[in-house]
Amino acid sequence: MANVSLQQIGKSYGGAVAVEAFNLEIRDGEFLVLLGPSGCGKSTTLRMIAGLESITRGDLLIGDARMNNVDPKNRGVAMVFQNYALYPHKTVAENMGMALKLQKMPKAEIEERIAGVADMLGLTAYLDRKPGSLSGGQRQRVAIGRAIVRTPEVFLFDEPLSNLDAKLRVKMRMELQELHDRLGVTSVYVTHDQVEAMTLADRIVIMDGGVIAQVGTPREVYDKPATEFVAGFIGSPAMNLMTMQSAADGSWRSNESQLVLPRLPGFDTKGANTIRVGIRPEHMTILDASAVGDDPWILPGKVMLAELLGADALLTLSVCGETMTARVNGVDYPEQGQQLAVRLNPEQLHAFDHDSKKALQV
């Protein structure tokens, strides 16, 4: 096991920059998730750690040894690919044992290791089968087994669950979690699925356009998004974000609607004229229309659309002309067209600088 250190790592293709000055210390035994939309550089970063992509700038250290120019096989890393990348003409056992065979490990020891890992993953009955005759979940387990057999210092996962159906994905996610608890190997996991990120990660690195937007625990990135991008990316449905202008009396007004918010408590707006204010759909309280009155945080609204998800319902509201989404209990919720009042909980508001998109500190 080892820590991984990325120091000012960068990757460019010709003039195009894919990853920019990436700094990160991955702790020994940590489960770190790289999260972001397609093309944000997360896979490139993972592939640079793996050695499948050369590093343009900066230093990569695994267990304190510089790895920039070391072959993938000698980095002590093992990778699980999105499309499994199993050798289709080789059996499950041959797939799992390939790296060991190439290391010229004695046959008996290879078989022993494969047997152990196959037992752990429930693959013993399939060792003589070819990948083509296995289900998607079994193939992914073989791919994971192939990584485990090598007893690497670091596991690298490149969107390993994205080819599985929803139900299987949940099951494999739990298996991965169990496996990590059991083996305690440093893991770097790339995904665009925030649920995977939130559930698996010790820390999440959210990337946008080749740079790190935020590093933090799942709770930190959800509660205290460092940028507007993170705020919009984490959480489903996405955070409601409004552009507000400051008024002479200290209140904030929207240009596009009649929305007026009182002085924002606890935010250092640094005298800005325009800011972005955000509130998550689950942080809005739905009240009776008659509740509008003295409390400036209670605003009149109307239900434009009500969608039942099961346990929850999503309401698309027009609040003072501003479209917002609220998440409410699915048992008893207002119907389409109904007039109501909405309370935005001020302690759960977010505010961001309009230009830099950075969070205005509370």
Partner 1 sequence: MNAFNTLERRTQFVGIGFVTPTFLVIALILVYPVVQSIVLSVGQSSVDGFEPYRFVGLEHYAALMDDERFWRSLSVTLIFTAISIPLELVLGVGLALLMNESFHGKGLARLAVLFPWALPTALNALIWRWMYNADYGLFNAVGLESGIIGEPVNWLGDETLAMASMVIVSVWKTSSFMALIILAGLQSIPRDLYEAGRMDGMSRWQEFREITLPLLKGSIMVALIIRSMDALRTFELPFSLTDGGPDSATETLSLYAYKVIFEFVEFNAGSAIVVVQFAVIFLLSLLYIFTLRHKD
Residues in contact with partner 1 by CB under 8 A are 50-52, 71-74, 77-79, 81-83, 85-89, 98-99, 102-103, 146
CA quadruple 42, 14, 9, 231: dihedral sign: negative
Q: Locate 264 and state its tokens.
A: 């924002």
β-pairing verdict for 77-80 and 154-158? parallel
- Minimum distance from CB of 212 to partner 1 (Å)? 25
Q: Are 276 and 241 in contact (CB under 8 A)?
A: yes
CB nearer partner 1, residue 66 or residue 73: 73
CB nearer partner 1, residue 35 or residue 154: 154
- Minimum distance from CB of 186 to partner 1 (Å)? 16
Q: Are 231 and 194 in contact (CB under 8 A)?
A: no
- Minimum distance from CB of 39 to partner 1 (Å)? 18
- Minimum distance from CB of 61 to partner 1 (Å)? 19
The DSSP line for 51-80 is TSS--SEEEEEETTEE-TTS-GGGTTEEEE
CB nearer partner 1, residue 47 or residue 203: 47
CB nearer partner 1, residue 72 or residue 237: 72
- Minimum distance from CB of 146 to partner 1 (Å)? 8
CB nearer partner 1, residue 138 or residue 325: 138
- Minimum distance from CB of 110 to partner 1 (Å)? 13
CB nearer partner 1, residue 100 or residue 204: 100
CB nearer partner 1, residue 148 or residue 319: 148
CB nearer partner 1, residue 141 or residue 350: 141
Q: What is the dihedral of CA 79, 81, 84, 86, to 10 degrees?
A: -50
β-pairing verdict for 312-319 and 322-329? antiparallel
- Long-range pairs of 267-274 with CB within 8 A, sequence gap ≥ 24: 267/349, 267/351, 267/360, 267/361, 267/362, 268/360, 268/361, 269/351, 269/360, 270/353, 270/360, 272/246, 272/353, 272/354, 272/360, 273/245, 273/246, 274/243, 274/244, 274/245, 274/246, 274/354
- Minimum distance from CB of 38 to partner 1 (Å)? 17
- Minimum distance from CB of 22 to partner 1 (Å)? 21
- Minimum distance from CB of 20 to partner 1 (Å)? 24
Neighbours of 19 (CB within 10 A): 28
Bridge partners for 187 per DSSP? 31, 155
CB nearer partner 1, residue 192 or residue 263: 192
Q: Are 62 and 154 in contact (CB under 8 A)?
A: yes
Bridge partners for 165 per DSSP? none
Q: Are 49 and 188 in contact (CB under 8 A)?
A: yes
- What number of residues does the chain have? 362
Smallest Cα–Cα separation from 25: which of 225, 197, 205?
Answer: 205
